[in-house]
Structure 1
Amino acid sequence: MTTQTASAADVILSARGLSKRFAGFVAVNGVDLDVQRGSIHALIGPNGAGKTTCFNLLTKFLQPSAGTITLNGRDITRMPAADIARLGLVRSFQISAVFPKLSVLENVRIALQRRRGDSFDFWRSQTVLHQLDAEAMERIDEVGLSSFTNETAGELSYGRKRALEIATTLALEPEMLLLDEPMAGMAQEDVARISALIRKISANRTILMVEHNLSVVADLSDRITVLARGQVLSEGSYEVVSKDPRVIEAYIGAGHE
């Protein structure tokens, strides 16, 4: 299904003519993007392609110089990130969620307090705080950390810290999850674990991710958008884009790792 023929009812996040200029330099130039509801959509490209800037525009860490962004048909172009999070669009790791000296359970419980609009009142009675434990345990179990509930977050392996960050994000009940290089810096065993986790949590959510690991992209993605020089170069399944001569040329020309 192409961007042009996608049914509006099936599109959760859409961008039209998205552009960003920095002091005369055009980092993103007229990007059109449709993310289908219930899909895993990857945004990739060689170094300098503009994918990180595009991702920051979509997640509202940057304001576009031109273009529009809609979520479920609602214009969110000028909304701040906190407001779109309340609409169900949440960027994983933006909370920078791990409090290293707190337990896994305490970390997720804090995220639940945030979703409910509560202040982070660490001095609340244990009875009040424990009312959130059952829901926190659901999120912990969802990311496979049930055996680490009482572990101090700072003592977790790098991959399990990432899983905990995802758990805190899931506590915000996102309809759509945006992942910024979820495999960055991971050992292979952690890559496999987080890949399986992403597939699991995508069962009832939409996911958009920027990812450099092309084997992960090939394994997980339903649809891929390739950027080069700030513009959409190709779009489709991994089988389609990986055989596109323009994509091959762009990656080889950029000396992609």
Structure 2
Amino acid sequence: MLEARGLTKEFNGFLAVRDVDLTVERGTIHALIGPNGAGKTTCFNLLTKFLRPTSGKITYDGRDITAMSPTDIARLGLVRSFQISAVFGEMTVLENVRVALQRQRGESYDFWRSDRTLNQFDGDARRYIDDVGLSEFVDHRAAELSYGRKRALEIATTLALEPKMLLLDEPMAGMAQQDVELISVLIRRISEGRTILMVEHNLSVVADLSDKITVLAQGEVLEEGDYETVSKSPKVIEAYIGVDHE
């Protein structure tokens, strides 16, 4: 579904990502992990085109997207979330999802349209809200939600864009354990029929959700495989805790 070959990013002589090869199989949950400074965020931003690669090629669903913009690839069904929850706090849960659905009208998001005009989107909006377990909060202002539920709302607005593939940037960041469990269940549920690539620090979440894991260190691929394989790798153990176990 998503493939990178020779992906490299240089910042003023510093190689943040070096010759990374990555293949995300269709219909899987793939995790991108690594210690601090490994290049995960840079790699993620390259894949979603928020950064331009210095060299390399990115293919999505059989199409070369290396030179495309984030907006253009989102229209192809490759949609990402961000580390910081991005919802409209003064809008209700329903209104937040309805904004995402307004793309069906074309290019305009029509904040000034009457409710009567926008009510046509309510049925679909409620369906996505139900998918993420927020039905009882449909008329609540987004600002009133807990952090975990704000993340769930963000995922609902992402689903409203009808993505073929979701890229989740640290979906568990800053969450209490209760919210982590909530979002883990949600990611598992929405993965049916979709492909997911996520950057995540919580290794218990990675172990529970991921079909395949790519470990980065110092901008390069260190190890790849299922959780059992990468967790037992001496190279991965050394990268994370700084001890050579070979």
Contact 1:115 1:171 in 2 (8 A): no
Residue equivalent to 1:212: 201
Distance in 2 between residues matched to 1:50 and 1:139, nearest whole Å: 33
2:110 matches 1:121: yes
Residue equivalent to 2:22: 33
Distance in 2 between residues matched to 1:247 and 1:95, nearest whole Å: 28
Residue equivalent to 1:136: 125
Distance in 2 between residues matched to 1:46 and 1:242, nearest whole Å: 13
CA deviations over 1:137-186 (Å, ceiling 9, x no partner): 11100000000000000000000000000000100000000000000000
Change (3 A) 1:236 1:115: farther
How many pairs are equivalent?
243
TM-score (norm 1): 0.92
Contact 1:19 1:30 in 2 (8 A): yes
- Which amino acid in the other structure matches residue 221 of structure 1? S
Residue equivalent to 1:154: 143
What is the CA distance between 1:112 and its match in structure 2?
0.6
Q: 2:222 pairs with 220, 233, 237, which one?
A: 233
Where do 5+ consecutive residues of structure 2 fail to align? none
CA deviations over 1:103-153 (Å, ceiling 9, x no partner): 000000001113542422233232211000000011100000000000000
Q: 1:76 pairs with 44, 65, 69, which one?
A: 65
Residue equivalent to 2:77: 88
Q: Would you identify which runs of 4 or more consecutive aligned residues in structure 1 move more than 6 Å?
A: none
Change (3 A) 1:211 1:27: same
What is the CA distance between 1:225 and its match in structure 2?
0.2
Change (3 A) 1:54 1:126: same
Contact 1:18 1:68 in 2 (8 A): yes
Contact 1:95 1:169 in 2 (8 A): no
Residue equivalent to 1:186: 175
TM-score (norm 2): 0.96
Residue equivalent to 2:155: 166
Where do 5+ consecutive residues of structure 1 fail to align? 1-11
Q: 2:242 pairs with 240, 250, 253, which one?
A: 253
- Which amino acid in the other structure matches residue 200 of structure 1? R
2:184 matches 1:195: yes
Residue equivalent to 1:242: 231
Change (3 A) 1:216 1:53: same
Coordinate RMSD, CA, aligned: 1.4
Change (3 A) 1:213 1:115: farther
Aligned-pair identity in percent equals 74
Residue equivalent to 2:164: 175
2:73 matches 1:60: no
Contact 1:93 1:165 in 2 (8 A): no
Judge which range, 16-25 or 97-106, deviates more. Answer: 97-106
- Which amino acid in the other structure matches residue 64 of structure 1? P
Distance in 1 between residues matched to 2:227 and 2:44, nearest whole Å: 20
Distance in 2 between residues matched to 1:49 and 1:189, nearest whole Å: 28
Contact 1:93 1:166 in 2 (8 A): no
Counterpart of 2:166 in 1: which secondary structure?
strand
